[in-house]
Amino acid sequence: MIYTVTFNPSVDYIVRLDALEIGALNRTSDTAKYAGGKGINVSRILNALEVPSTALGFAGGFTGSFIEEALQTQGIHHDFIKVAGDTRINIKLKTGEETEINAAGPMIDTSDIDRLKDQLSKLTTEDHVVFAGSVPSGHDDLYANLARLLESKGVEFTIDAEGDKLTSTLEHGPYLIKPNLFELEGITGRKPSSKAEMIEAAASLLDLGAKNILLTLGSDGALFINPEHRYYIPSPAGTLKNSVGAGDSTVAGFISRKGHPLTEQLRYAIACGSATAFSDDLATRGDIEDLLEKIEIHTIEEVK
């Protein structure tokens, strides 16, 4: 079973306006509400691909209930830990350009963390955990502690996080990490300008323990690096409509084909990420399948 962990989920409130006038009354042209959060996005894409998962994390209040009900309606299993505060609401303002207003989440105390650890301690080597996004305030070492727990049980995990939250887990051997170029620069202290330099910078993280690295480059596609393979995967042609969830969709696509040939994992990863970027919300299965045959994978024989 795949388990996704979202420490700080949200109700994503999508607000569309023809134009925004600051200091005046504005009326929306359309609104929508979705269960949000990076791990939840992974579960939603896995569900679209008919790959079962269980969404874990913390949820509270009427907004937490909304998330649980939304996932239940979609047929996504969940086992959230109930917390005292309300799950946050994030505003995604679309007026031609996209503006995000993300709220702070509820307080998470040590007993809540202990309950999550208890959930993860029951997993087996047949399971896979996806960690994604921010951690609760005051728990900066949470990723490292949970990665250590999973490593001790032989449970593989994927992590999609920034900075120290990511690097603190590398010694525990994550199956997949998915930095973007900006995040890679922050982690390595390098500013690569060519694909060869990007691969070299990303490959330095293999020495620290990462098993597979998928470096996303936005409209330029992605680079894949592991000890045996180097690939460049350009993005398929399409119109960017939505950047929210594209990276999470990429992770879901890769994990969804775990156990299949690596090239198939990469094809699904880029198809899922691109399909979400070309959609108003997360991609549907039809969106993804339309792109699968358009994904090209190029081998990089030598990096100088």
How many Cβ atoms sit within 10 Å of the Cβ of residue 280? 12
Q: Is 248 a catalytic residue?
A: yes
Distances (CA, A) of 230 to 58, 224, 258, 272: 37, 6, 18, 20
Phi, psi for residue 274 in degrees, rounded to 5: -70, -40
Answer whether 230's CB lies under 8 Å from 262's CB.
Answer: no
Residue from 12, 160, 248, 287 carrying the catalytic annotation:
248
C-alpha Rg value of the chain to the nearest Å: 19
What secondary structure letter does DSSP report for 239?
-
Neighbour order of strands in the sheet with 88-95: 30-36, 10-16, 88-95, 97-101
Answer whether 189's CB lies under 8 Å from 167's CB.
Answer: no
Residues designated as active site: 248
